[in-house]
Structures are given as C-alpha cells and as structure tokens.
Amino acid sequence: MIEGDHGSAYFYPRSDVAQKAINCQVQLQALHGGNALIGREIYPLLYKAGFSDCLVSPRMVYVDSRKHPSGANQLLAMAKHWMVPIS
C-alpha cells in the first residue's frame, strides 16, 4: 500500500504559498470527512483491522524544476482539481 501524507511535503526553495496550499488541502479534506494526514496512521489502522505482519516505511517525494520541470505545476494542478469554492 502506498498512501501519502500532506504533512510530508517539502519545497526548495521554501515556499509559503505552496505550504498554504497544502494546509488548505488538509483543512478542506477534513471538512469533507477526509484525512490528508492519514499516512502517519497507516500502521495503527492496519493493525486494528487485524493485519499482523505490517511493515510501514515512510517515503518522501521530491520535486524541483530541475528534476521535473512540470513538478512545480503539479501542486497547482492538484489544488485546482480539489479546491472547492467557498462563498
């Protein structure tokens, strides 16, 4: 199983705007019953569900404009897809 955790988003150079976008995603998912920080809960959830041979290994996804030129736009594309207009 691979599950992301928005709390493990890293940016270089540091970007307050990108971090605010991540924070908004976390809040919006929580408002709609989701959990954008569920990655850190995977082991306890699996264990509680009866799985006994669980191995959890954190992974970091790293994107920068040199390594993935489109990477800088991926966050924006995700945000646009998941954003809900608030009136």
Band the pLDDT of 87: cuts 50, 70, 90: very low
87 occurs within a structural domain: no
Q: What region does 53 belong to: left with phi over 0, alpha with psi -120 to 50, or beta?
A: beta
Whether 41 is in a domain gets the answer: yes
Range of the domain at 64: 6-82
pLDDT per residue as tens digits for the range 18-63: 788 888 888 988 999 999 888 888 889 999 999 988 888 777 666 6
pLDDT at 49 (0 to 100): 94
Q: Would you say 18 and 5 are in contact if contact means Cβ atoms under 8 Å apart?
A: no
Flag whether 1 is in a domain. Answer: no
| pTM of the model as a whole | 0.61
Domain count, the chain: 1
Q: Is 73 helix (H, G, I), strand (E, B) or coil?
A: helix
